[in-house]
């Protein structure tokens, strides 16, 4: 395996980790105003991800940094062409982070309600836009021969990309509901399970529609062999298994299956892209690939050495943080925000 392929896989792994972890993170934020009937319950919901949400976002920063270092032409085209949606994601994440910190600065109900809704907006908007952005990478966007995006914002709002955006929005919310079922106790946990049961059917319908529509509108799976095509099939199967476990009251396996659905769906995207990074809708030969968008071999070798040393340390630290804060959050253990 050459270093270009290795870093394509590593970036795919980073985005997979980000969507798995930040997926339930977004889901909890989306559900916060709806499942919390009083301030203490909303505090419990916020505390369930309090130790984790900022660490989960590090996966995105790392994925962006790896993309910049390994494939600078891809990074430049992506961030210039997708400037507005990525700016909206950034602003939403800033508002969300501020809201987590500020909601406890005043006990007035209007103050806390305002910041709770900011958490909702800061979670729902990225959950939608990430699906739209990732779908467009595979569908194709206007990229000319000089690797420049020549379209506009509304080129990105095509029907299939919007379906994918709704899929990630509802799927992440389901993932978050199951996380709350496992992480909280009492009435909040019961409402989270009820929400998960309600969300599962629209989530699986949207996922199946997105996968089938992607088969026809992108044409990418027609060029793949039987083994790669199994990846999106397994994503759908994991989504169905989540519903099976959920109906039997087994929230733990159901959460694992929604996580597997997210991971396999992300893997399906990267399998469909390879060896491309961004597809040009103007001319397939103008697509950005792991060859024409990459850094020098020396840069890739240096990055590989750094990754081998530091990535395991980061993974160990994050696993340790989840272990330390593994207890359920309830009325007695809830900290004041």
Q: What is the mean pLDDT of residues 8-14?
A: 95
198-221, pLDDT tens digit by residue?
A: 999 999 999 999 988 888 888 776
36-84 tens-digit pLDDT: 989 999 999 999 998 898 889 889 999 999 999 999 999 999 988 899 9
Give percent of the chain with pLDDT exceeding 90: 74
Res 221: pLDDT:
64
pLDDT reading at 151 higher than 70: yes
Q: How many CB atoms lie within 10 A of CB 25?
A: 27
**What's the distance, CA 195 to chain centroid?**
20
Complete domains list, the chain, with CATH? 3-324 (1.20.1630.10)
Query: Higher confidence at residue 219 or residue 123?
Result: 123
Predicted pLDDT of residue 314: 87
Confidence of residue 229 (pLDDT cuts 50, 70, 90): confident
12, 24, 198: which is closest to 127 by C-alpha? 24
- Start-end of H helices in the chain: 3-35, 39-49, 53-70, 72-81, 83-102, 109-139, 159-183, 187-218, 226-247, 251-273, 297-324
Q: Mean pLDDT, to the nearest integer, of 304-325?
A: 91
Return the pLDDT at 119: 96
Reported pTM? 0.93
Mean pLDDT of the chain: 91
Burial class (CB in 10 A: 0-12, 13-18, 19+), 186: middle
**Beta bridge partner(s), residue 100:** none
- For position 237, what pLDDT does the model report? 95
> Cα(216)–Cα(218) distance, rounded to whole angstroms?
6
What is the distance between the terminal CA atoms of the chain, rounded to a whole angstrom? 49
DSSP labels, 38-59: SHHHHHHHHHHHTTTHHHHHHH
Confidence of residue 106 (pLDDT cuts 50, 70, 90): confident
Record the tokens describing residue 164, joined without a space. Answer: 């994918």
List 149's β-bridge partners, or say none: 143
Q: Above 60 in pLDDT, residue 302?
A: yes
| pLDDT for the residue 336 | 45
Sign (positive/negative) of CA torsion 126, 140, 229, 3?
A: negative
Q: What is the pLDDT of residue 337?
A: 41
Residue 224 has pLDDT above 70, yes or no: no
- Tokens found for residue 210: 């997105």
Q: Find all residues with CB under 8 Å of 22, minimum gap 6, and list them.
A: 53, 56, 57, 59, 60
């Amino acid at each position: 395996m050459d270093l270009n392929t290795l870093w394509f896989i590593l970036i795919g792994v980073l985005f997979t980790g980000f969507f798995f972890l930040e997926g339930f993170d977004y889901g909890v934020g989306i559900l916060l105003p709806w499942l919390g009937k009083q301030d203490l319950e909303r505090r419990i919901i916020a505390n369930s991800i309090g130790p984790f949400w900022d660490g989960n976002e590090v996966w995105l920063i790392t994925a962006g940094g790896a993309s910049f270092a390994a494939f600078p032409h891809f990074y430049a085209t992506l961030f210039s062409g997708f400037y507005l949606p990525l700016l909206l994601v950034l602003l939403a994440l800033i508002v969300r982070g501020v809201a987590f910190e500020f909601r406890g600065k005043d006990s007035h109900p209007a103050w806390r309600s305002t910041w709770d809704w900011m958490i909702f907006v800061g979670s729902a908007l990225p959950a939608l836009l990430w699906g739209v952005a990732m779908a467009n990478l595979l569908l194709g966007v206007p990229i000319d021969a000089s690797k420049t995006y020549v379209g506009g914002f509304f080129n990105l709002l095509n029907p299939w990309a919007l379906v994918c955006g709704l899929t990630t929005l509802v799927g992440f919310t389901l993932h978050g509901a199951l996380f709350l079922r496992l992480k909280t106790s009492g009435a909040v946990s019961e409402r989270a399970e009820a929400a998960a049961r309600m969300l599962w059917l629209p989530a699986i319908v949207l996922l199946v529609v997105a996968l089938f529509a992607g088969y026809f509108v992108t044409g990418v799976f027609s060029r793949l062999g039987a083994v790669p095509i199994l990846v999106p099939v397994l994503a759908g199967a994991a989504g169905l298994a989540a519903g099976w476990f959920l109906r039997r009251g087994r929230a733990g396996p159901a959460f694992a299956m929604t996580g597997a659905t997210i991971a396999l769906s992300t893997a399906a995207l990267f399998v469909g892209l390879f060896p491309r990074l961004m597809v040009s809708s103007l001319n397939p030969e103008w697509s950005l690939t792991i060859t024409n968008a990459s850094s020098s071999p020396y840069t890739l070798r240096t990055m590989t050495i750094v990754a081998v040393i530091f990535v395991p340390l980061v993974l160990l630290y994050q696993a340790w943080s989840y272990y330390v804060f593994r207890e359920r959050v309830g009325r007695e253990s809830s900290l004041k925000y």
